[in-house]
Structure 1
């Protein structure tokens, strides 16, 4: 009876989450709230916090010895996710100082771009959300105070993307239906509300003095809960600096082999990166190059039998304006509650139209043609696209692992996939030089993941400043100035998210080593398929499901 009881608790928890966050519900595939926006008020936040406290109490009342392993893991995942959200609503209280979390653009965009129903039906949901925009933004202004300047600046820019969506993409979608429904009034009122909100944010900018840093205690609490990891900031930072030295040494060895030079220094490594950076895409070619790289990486995975491939549809799309300014690419999977046959989206961000020639040149030197192959491995094959296709096929007694998938496992798998492909000499069939170029970019990306963690920890629980961060990224990370500048911005805009790549990689790498030791006869495909067969739980729980002891 305990399993049935937990299943009810889990299903109730997911239903409550979807009711409180309608945009999240849409992305998960629950379309019963598609005409609604969430309530950003402090009172709604308090009600949600009370719900979470009640949920945690119900979970704690379950007798652990009467749950099977799968239910016990799902109970722990749900409890950790609930504690994490509760921290965000209470001690962190991000909704009171970060205006980026109060942008309705993504909620509207999801209805336009995800073909889960005929367009007229989805436009009905768009109409409801447009009508809700003025009250939503008014409530958000009532919640926001003591904001962070960099979050205000970024929010103002991202609301430009929301305006373009409301005044451009929504009317274009209506035109596809022959002009029905007529949402001209809803569009006009929503656009006016967005402009009013932008004006308010501009007026508040001068007084936005809140530090972007979380501070050591809040950061440590968030790291533990969001990443579901036993790593503590101090020990994580020490490990990251050790790996920084290790990867730089590997880079020096590779450059020595490819250039025939003995003991190359950082200048020689930088010179080799500069040579590779000259082979660069443009805004007109970047999407097609990623599509070609996707086909090539898929063929390589199939030839080397690295894991089972599922023939799920994938779209490589241009990143919408509302999402730009934080990351260069992302992968959006089909929601675990979705019943319509949708495609996974791999979004890539070309350069903004208002960038200078120097900014564009710097961007495409960083994301050169060799780096695009590594990026496609991470976002596509055998990274996110492959892992998430396996995730879609996990069928548990409840939806917890799909709804609360672990970012550190998902990103850790993708970083591990980069290393796996590079060490197997991906592109070696083209030439040894092409394989070495991808390996160079993979090591550079590994440096980036390590530096992301160093900066994330050192900024939010220390005193890292821009000068130190830029020096780290450009000297020890070999990054272009534009990339480093954007990453410094991202360090300030987010917390713990930048650490999930490195933390996840450490945990996945140890898991692979332990699984190989426990099952030495397993092929790569058997090992990887087994790892991916349990959904996307945090690695600490995946070890439990695999019958492995906790990591040392």
Structure 2
């Protein structure tokens, strides 16, 4: 290989990704790198310290790069790679979430990944499962040593207990069901794989029970005042740094909050106008009457809603309509890659309502995208279940599937997989703000083109505006809770009054804001950046059709929007 700046960077990028995959084998499996499928990440104090030291050495090498001498794609990837190294070091050394959030060490997701996709023969995946299962006792023992004597976050302990119990169910009945299904399908080599699992499963289950009991003891001790809980709010300084590194955005935390609060006023006016149009009345002048009008229309729309038995089927039907609509209006190039709509597994529940789980960006096997929707938790009261499905009524499900699938995440990530860069950096380290920003932009795009849902585009438009209010409020909550001490009562009032959210949705969002600092800003920041980018590309290329504009925005993988201007040019 020639000794050029590009060649040196490409070698360094490959070395960095290989090293990160070795240290984070769960992440490697999700990417589609399967050489570490039998390993679990090391969340012990020693493992975290070693990873931080390795990242520091990598950062020194990145600093020596002559970025100006690189090609444009490599220059973008170098910036992405350096930001990721800084982000992980910040997480380990400064935020130190592994020391107060026990959910970080849950082995459930790394185990579930091996069952969820048919990227390799069942026996191979189950053998890797046994390898990870064998490491569960030592992993959990190391995590308890890390957490001992530390002040934990109460809400994160509660989340961890529920998710660890989900992991116990996964390696019990769900694993047996997966093995039975593989046997019924005629998979070979199952006897050896099953024997390997049976040899280590009892110890893994015992370790999980021990860990859950230990977490429950810590929870009870905190509730009894025998030890202190830490505030899950991370504070203004850490939040600002986490937001900058997580989103790789040009705006800072203060700018984002200020623009969000201004947009909240703008969209509040738009939803009043949309409600007046739906109801066939004039826009009221009195603020209380304006709010009452919106609430009345939303309450009427909420009367038509699914339940736990019908929401998956309805989501599938909505998606088929969206495929047809996007093609008919030539909004963006549509592909026919495989997908399925499925119930969200227990191990993933507790934070988000739905997600799009695509094949790993480096996955070579032909596997489908999973669109998961979460039924209500089993311990919810009937009243809370009803509140949930009033929020996720039939019109909202249409908007939700636009976001998660067509032309949102499902389609955008299909475009992203087709981009071939000189290095796999951009595929492996995609931008969550761009991915979520496109999905929110897709909601607005469909509503602007009068997507009818079940027949009335005004109903979908009302739900899209309600979701836009929610997205903006998410960013406001994120900043105000973690930086300015917003209380639960203030947050609930903002969501239910200004955002017209059902109590159940608002309660879940308050919990999510405490659990996932900076994540709730992802949607708003990404939406603003994608919308601004699309506007500017249209102005620069007035001869392009909307499909050409959108294809250009999606043609470079999933980098933060700040890099796309240079790439499109």
Distance 2:370 2:471 in 1: 23
- Shift in Å, 1:142: 1.2
> What is aligned with 2:166?
161
- Shift in Å, 1:64: 2.0
> What is aligned with 2:379?
354
For each residue in 1:200-250, what CA deviation from the matched residue of structure 2 results, as whole angstroms up to 9, or x when unmatched? 111111135111111111110111111001222222111111111111100
Residues 1:18 and 2:43 aligned together: no
Distance 1:276 1:185 in 2: 54
Residues 1:303 and 2:328 aligned together: yes
SS of the residue 1:27 aligns to: helix
Aligned counterparts, 1:15-164, within 5 A: 15-144=18-147, 145-164=150-169
Distance 2:444 2:59 in 1: 39
Residues 1:532 and 2:554 aligned together: yes
Aligned counterparts, 1:439-454, within 5 A: 439-454=461-476
SS of the residue 1:497 aligns to: coil
Please, which runs of 5 or more residues in structure 1 have no aligned partner? 548-552
> What is aligned with 2:245?
225
SS of the residue 1:461 aligns to: helix
> What is aligned with 2:277?
257
- Shift in Å, 1:175: 2.6
Question: Pick from 288, 292, 310: which aligns with 2:317?
Answer: 292
Distance 2:141 2:309 in 1: 39
RMSD: 1.1
> What is aligned with 2:186?
none
> What is aligned with 1:383?
408
SS of the residue 2:484 aligns to: coil
Provide runs of 4+ in structure 1 moved above 4 Å: none
Q: How many residues align?
A: 544
- Shift in Å, 1:143: 1.3
Question: Pick from 471, 476, 489: which aligns with 2:498?
Answer: 476
Return the TM-score normalized by structure 2.
0.94
SS of the residue 1:91 aligns to: helix
Aligned counterparts, 1:330-369, within 5 A: 330-369=355-394
Distance 1:64 1:10 in 2: 13
> What is aligned with 2:206?
192
Distance 2:54 2:328 in 1: 50
- Shift in Å, 1:263: 2.1
- Shift in Å, 1:354: 2.5
Distance 1:475 1:326 in 2: 22
Distance 1:359 1:233 in 2: 34
Q: Is the 8 A contact 1:329 1:348 kept in 2?
A: yes
For each residue in 1:363-413, what CA deviation from the matched residue of structure 2 results, as whole angstroms up to 9, or x when unmatched? 100000000000000000000000000011011111001111000000000
Residues 1:175 and 2:200 aligned together: no
Return the TM-score normalized by structure 1.
0.97
Distance 1:496 1:101 in 2: 16
Question: Pick from 487, 490, 496: which aligns with 1:465?
Answer: 487
Distance 2:131 2:499 in 1: 47
**CA 177–303 in structure 1, closer or farther in 2 if over 3 Å, else same:** closer
SS of the residue 1:301 aligns to: helix
Does 352-361 or 131-140 show the bigger shift? Answer: 352-361
Does 46-55 or 67-76 show the bigger shift? Answer: 46-55
Distance 1:472 1:5 in 2: 51
Q: Is the 8 A contact 1:148 1:208 kept in 2?
A: no
Question: Pick from 295, 301, 310: which aligns with 1:276?
Answer: 301
Q: Is the 8 A contact 2:278 2:459 kept in 1?
A: no
Distance 1:97 1:305 in 2: 49
> What is aligned with 1:550?
none
- Shift in Å, 1:185: 3.7
- Shift in Å, 1:169: 0.9
- Shift in Å, 1:302: 0.5
SS of the residue 2:134 aligns to: helix
SS of the residue 1:90 aligns to: helix
Distance 2:486 2:558 in 1: 33
For each residue in 1:143-180, what CA deviation from the matched residue of structure 2 results, as whole angstroms up to 9, or x when unmatched? 12221011001110111111110111112222334472
Distance 2:136 2:399 in 1: 39
Distance 1:76 1:353 in 2: 45
> What is aligned with 1:204?
218
Q: Is the 8 A contact 1:305 1:525 kept in 2?
A: yes
Q: Is the 8 A contact 1:149 1:208 kept in 2?
A: no
Question: Pick from 237, 242, 253: which aligns with 2:257?
Answer: 237
Q: Is the 8 A contact 1:298 1:381 kept in 2?
A: yes
Q: Is the 8 A contact 1:228 1:538 kept in 2?
A: yes
